[in-house]
Structures are given as C-alpha cells and as structure tokens.
C-alpha cells in the first residue's frame, strides 16, 4: 500500500510504522520527528549478509555506508548484525569509536582526509583506509612510519562507468574528484607507488559507481573492469590483490515509480560474473566488500511533521507548510528528490488533494515536494513523509537556527529516543559572549 512495507493503517485510521501509531509518537515526542523502524534496518542487514553467504560462500563483508545515517545507536545495531561500516570523516569515525564498533570492520573513505583524520584512523586501527590520491598515500606512509605500524589500504579507482544515464555508459567518468583514473594509467602508477611504500600494504581495490541505481548491469560491468585491473596488476607487477570493494548505490523505492532490484539478485548476478572473470583471468576469487547505505536505512525511516499554514492560490497551487523543511530534509531543494506523503491521522481516507509541501525556512526553495497527493489536511494534522531514513538527518542543518529534530527508534512495540531533539540552548552552545 505504501512505498515501505513496514507502514500500515490501524483501526483508528492512523498511519503505523513497525506496528506503532505515528500520531501517538508525534504526541509523545513532538514534531518534527524522525522515526526509524529498527527491525526493518536489521532485516536489511541480514538480507545483505545472507546474499553474500548464499551466492559467494560468505567470502565477503557488507559494510553499512554510515553517511546515510550516523549515530551511536546505529553503529551498535550494525555491530550486533555483524556488519562492517564505511565512514568518511573523523566525525563518523569518532561516533563509531564511541559506540564501541569493532574497528577492524571499518573502511575509512574520503577524497581529502586531513592528517588528524588519518592519525585517528591509524591510532584506532581501522581495518582498511581507502586511499584516494597520491598525496594521501605519501602522507599515510609517513604517518604510519612515525607510529611504527603498517596500514592496510585499498585504492579508490574510477572504473569509468556512469550509472546515472538512461543506458549507462562505460567511459567518460574521468571527471570525478574521487579516486585514481583507470584509462590514463594513473591507477597502475599508484599501485607501483604503493609497492614502494614501507608502511602501507595494498590489500584491495575499491570502486563506487553512484547512488540510487536500479539497474544491475553497471554493477556487473564495474566488477568486471575492476577484476581486469587486478589481473593486469598480477601480470605486470606480480602483485596479488586479494580484496575487491564494490561500493554501494543500490536503489530504493521512494515513490510508486521506482522499481528497485532485490539485493539477492544483485549479489547473485555480481557473484556469477566475479567467478567467471576470475576463472578467465586465472586470478583467485577476491574477498568482496559491498557498501550499502541508503538501502539499509532509507525505507526504515519516516519524518513526522505538524501541518501549519495552508495557502491555496487559486489555479496555481496549494502550499501546505510544515514545522520542518530543508533544514531536516534538504533533498528536494538539492536534487528534486520525490517522496510519498500521508496525513498520518487521516491515513484511512483517500488521498484526494494535490499539494506543495513547504518548510518553515526563510527561503522560497524550501520545499519537501511539489504535486504530492495527500488526504485533505489543515493546521494541526500530522504529515508523514515516507522513506526519509537516509540522507535526511545526516544532511540536516541548523539553517535559520532551527534546532534539529529528535530521532526515535521503534521495535517490538516500544519506542526510544536515539538522538535527542536539539534545544535553543544547543543552538547557541558554541557562541561566545
């Protein structure tokens, strides 16, 4: 009935998430409110893990890309579900450390890591540092040397695949700020440089071809390109690369128009290709990492708002303003991302109105969406925006000095706050008199 399967309508005609009444959650915790169905998050983790077990003999690790939604509770859940994580800043790494996440299961990314971030990663003994460029390689080699340790690294490679075109294209992605280019020989030169470094060990290669991708073909193509590079490295340098990180990017259903591929078929198809290419190229099967972010958390989350002003501009549109906006969900302003909405306290009624959802920021572009179908709503109604678990809280801001909403997790008929609502005092906490 809705884009996410954890949502339903109860006998009061209220929207439920993971069996919990969203109107009651809004009453108890206030709005705007992010609500996450913990059980669904765990289910997603298990399906990624079991797909690796079923199709690749368990020779891999699913690392949750925590840029999608990062907080201590989330890292604890990932730990309990046996996942690895991808972190991309000192802040994400520090949060994971404070949540006692096992550091050997951490992949540390970033195209411009600072020395402080690299030192924190080395001190914390993160599993893999994904090196993006030559200057990072040199700095890391020096820092690891100073600390008397060897850092296990992977190289981020641009495999030359643009997955965001209607028919994905296989060249022309040299123009990216991330990683070493393949076509120019830059990647092979970097591998040669790594071999000469005394304090780093190149264990693997990484690629990430984009986000919200529905098609399996670009993933399969990326895997093939990467394995061929592993094969050339073996032939040219006699170096065996034992790990392949294929990144994330698996699409999810935001609206009825979206038709994502089940993870199982992704892993099945990619595994078959990996086995085939390894046999052809006479290289051993690599340990595989995948880095799903959005697909782990987006469908499990919703945002609840209280409706305020409604402005009907005849023959033009109806603006329905809510008590949040681009400060808690900048994705429409940034990408024109589409969402499904529901009047949580009128969820049993038909969605007969077409509205523009506006936020409360002082900015005309502060919209959550346009042309959205919803039940008739007025001031005081609760509006739910669906599938907001990924890249909403993590990309939120304090624009207009609006405090960030709380995040509540629900599971087994209970709810708990995992991130507190910011107060006005939080807003001024770093201001000096």
Judged by CB under 6 A, the stretch of 36-44, 61-69, 96-104, 309-317 that binds ligand LLP is 61-69
Check binding of 405 to ligand LLP (CB under 6 A): no
110 near ligand LLP, judged by CB under 6 A: no
- The answer to whether residues 379 and 314 touch, using CB atoms and an 8 Å cutoff, is no
CA dist 420 and 71 (Å) reads 11
Sheet holding 7-9, edge to edge: 7-9, 15-17, 20-21
Pattern of binders to ligand LLP over 143-182, x per CB under 6 A? ----------------------------------------
What letter would DSSP give residue 169? B
Q: Is residue 293 classed as helix, strand or coil in its secondary structure? A: coil
- Sign (positive or negative) of CA dihedral 43, 46, 48, 51: negative
Of 135-143, 164-172, 290-298, 380-388, the window that binds ligand LLP (rule: CB under 6 A) is 290-298
Q: Is 127 in the site for ligand LLP (CB under 6 A)?
A: no
Q: Does position 369 bind ligand LLP by CB under 6 A?
A: no
Greatest Cα pair distance, the chain, in angstroms, is: 72
**Would you say 367 and 358 are in contact if contact means Cβ atoms under 8 Å apart?**
yes
Q: How many Å apart are CA 65 and CA 292, to the nearest integer?
A: 6
Catalytic residue among 71, 107, 207, 362: 362
* Site for ligand LLP contains 204 (CB under 6 A): no
Binding to ligand LLP by residue 391, rule CB under 6 A? yes
What track of x and - describes contact with ligand LLP for positions 69 through 98 (by CB under 6 A)?
-----------------x------------
**Which is nearer to ligand LLP, 192 or 336 (by Cβ)?**
336
Pairing of strands 151-158, 128-131: parallel
Backbone angles phi, psi at 430, to 5 degrees: -100, 0
Q: Active site includes 362?
A: yes
Nearest distance, CB of residue 24 and ligand LLP, angstroms = 29
Q: Which of 139, 349, 391, 384 is nearest to 249 (CA)?
A: 391
Residues within the interface to ligand LLP (CB under 6 A): 65, 67-68, 86, 109, 208, 211, 247-250, 291-295, 331, 391, 395
Residue positions annotated with a catalytic role? 362
């Amino acid at each position: 009935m809705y884009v996410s399967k954890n949502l339903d309508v109860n006998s009061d005609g209220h929207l439920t998430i993971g069996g919990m009444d969203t109107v009651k959650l809004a009453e108890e915790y206030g709005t705007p409110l992010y609500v996450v169905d913990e059980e669904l998050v765990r289910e997603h983790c298990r399906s990624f893990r079991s797909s690796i077990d079923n199709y690749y003999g368990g020779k891999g690790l699913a690392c949750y890309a925590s840029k999608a939604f990062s907080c201590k509770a989330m890292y604890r859940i990932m730990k309990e579900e046996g996942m690895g994580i991808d972190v991309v800043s000192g802040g994400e790494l520090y949060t994971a450390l404070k949540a006692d996440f096992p550091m050997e299961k951490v992949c540390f990314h970033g195209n411009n890591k600072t020395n402080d971030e690299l030192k924190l990663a080395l001190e914390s003994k993160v599993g893999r540092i994904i090196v993006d460029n030559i200057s990072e390689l040199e700095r890391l080699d020096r820092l690891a040397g100073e600390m008397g340790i060897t850092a296990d690294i992977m190289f981020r490679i641009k495999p030359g695949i643009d997955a965001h075109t209607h028919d994905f294209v296989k060249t022309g992605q040299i123009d990216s700020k991330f990683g070493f280019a393949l076509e120019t020989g830059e990647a092979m030169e970097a591998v040669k440089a790594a071999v000469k470094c005394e304090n780093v060990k190149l264990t693997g290669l990484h690629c990430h071809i984009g986000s919200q991708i529905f098609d399996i073909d670009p993933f399969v193509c990326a895997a093939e390109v990467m394995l061929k590079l592993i094969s050339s490295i073996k032939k040219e340098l006699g170096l065996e690369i034992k790990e392949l990180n294929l990144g994330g990017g698996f699409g999810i259903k935001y609206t009825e128009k979206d038709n994502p591929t089940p993870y199982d078929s992704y892993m099945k198809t990619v595994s078959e290709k990996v086995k085939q290419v390894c046999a052809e190229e006479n290289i051993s099967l690599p340990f595989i990492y995948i880095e799903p972010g959005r697909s782990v958390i987006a469908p499990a989350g919703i945002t609840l708002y209280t409706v305020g002003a409604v402005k009907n501009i005849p023959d033009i549109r109806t603006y329905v303003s809510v008590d949040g906006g681009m400060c808690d969900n900048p994705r429409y302003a940034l990408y024109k991302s589409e969402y499904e909405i529901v009047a949580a306290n009128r969820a049993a009624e038909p969605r007969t109105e077409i509205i523009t959802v506006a936020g409360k920021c002082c900015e005309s572009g502060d919209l959550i969406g346009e042309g959205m179908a919803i039940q008739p709503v007025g001031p005081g109604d609760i509006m739910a925006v669906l599938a907001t678990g990924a890249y909403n809280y993590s990309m939120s801001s304090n624009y207009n000095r609006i405090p960030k909403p709380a995040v509540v997790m629900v599971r087994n008929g209970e709810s708990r706050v995992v991130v507190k609502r910011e107060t006005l005092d939080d807003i001024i906490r770093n201001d000096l008199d």
